[in-house]
Structure 1
Amino acid sequence: MKRYIPFILAIILAAFGLLTLFLSTSVIFDLFEIRAKEGNYVLFVVWSNFISSIIYIFAAYGFIKRQTWTPAILSVSIIILIVAFIGLLIHIYLGGIYETRTIGAMIFRIIVTLIFTILAYLTIKKEK
């Protein structure tokens, strides 16, 4: 069962990455009228999610191939998301418009990425 854990994590991470990729590109390129549904989105947050989605897909591959660089690229995603979150807080402080749910979504995304980073470190480092 232990050898299947990286595959299960890869499937979950790939699904999360593909969903994030779809939603962020839909907002950036105004596909399927999702931009209007998002309301007062903050563009740099959407771009950070887009970049993270690509990292998630690469990390899913890293889980499958049990690559030792997987935790490192997920750490890069955490840094990108934290910088974007700080930028969002500054944007809010300066009176910029935003959706309240963006704060919760960013916190959720940072925590999920942190969990996947820890799991990558624990599962991949042990096997090598």
Structure 2
Amino acid sequence: MRHRRLLAVLAVLAIAFGALTVLSGGRVLFGGTEARAAAGQVVDFVLWFNFLAGFAYVAVGLELWRRRRWAVRGAALLALLTAIIAALFGLHVLSGGAYEMRTVGALALRLSFWSALALVARRAAQSTTG
């Protein structure tokens, strides 16, 4: 029972994180020149990845809520894809590309969140089925 509650909490966190990601990314992408200017030195591929990934965050969260087995793999995939984007972002920075420090923080937060969620969800899911 404890593990089912944990999965439910993780699901709610993933859904909320996804909704906030879609809202913030959508505001910059579709909010006009003022929103774009307020965002600073946006790295387009990171912004687009985060925006689109937000929908996947919600989907994985919903499926965690339903305790679907693939949701744990989906969380791990989101962590992996975020790590790849972070590495590409690092290459962008090392090559002299413009960026905002908050992008560094946001990528670190996303990678940490999805890595931890995937690990905890995997253990919780194993406990509910095993």
Q: What's the secondary structure of 1:69's corresponding residue?
A: helix
Q: Is the 8 A contact 1:67 1:124 kept in 2?
A: no
* Counterpart for residue 58 of structure 1: 59
Moved more, 47-56 or 62-71: 47-56
* Counterpart for residue 30 of structure 2: 29
Is residue 43 of structure 1 aligned with residue 44 of structure 2? yes
Matches within 5 A, 1:49-128: 49-128=50-129
User: How many residues align structurally?
Assistant: 128
Q: Which amino acid aligns with 2:61?
A: A
Gaps of 5+ in 1: none
Identity of aligned residues (%): 27
Q: Is the 8 A contact 1:68 1:125 kept in 2?
A: no
Whose relative contact order is higher, 1 or 2, with alpha carbons under 8 Å and at least 6 apart?
Answer: 2
Gaps of 5+ in 2: none
* Counterpart for residue 4 of structure 1: 5
CA distance in 2: counterparts of 1:17 and 1:31, whole angstroms: 22
RMSD: 1.7
Residue-by-residue CA offset, 1:96-122 (whole Å, 9 max, x unaligned): 111012112111110011111112111
Cα distance, 1:31–1:112 mapped onto 2, change above 3 Å = farther
Once the 2 structures are TM-superposed, how far is the Cα of residue 51 of structure 1 from its aligned partner?
Answer: 2.7
TM-score, structure 1 as length reference: 0.90
Q: Is the 8 A contact 1:48 1:80 kept in 2?
A: no
Q: Which amino acid aligns with 1:97?
A: A
* Counterpart for residue 18 of structure 1: 19
Residue-by-residue CA offset, 1:64-114 (whole Å, 9 max, x unaligned): 111111111112211221111111111111111110121121111100111
Q: What's the secondary structure of 2:69's corresponding residue?
A: coil
CA distance in 1: counterparts of 2:30 and 2:77, whole angstroms: 25
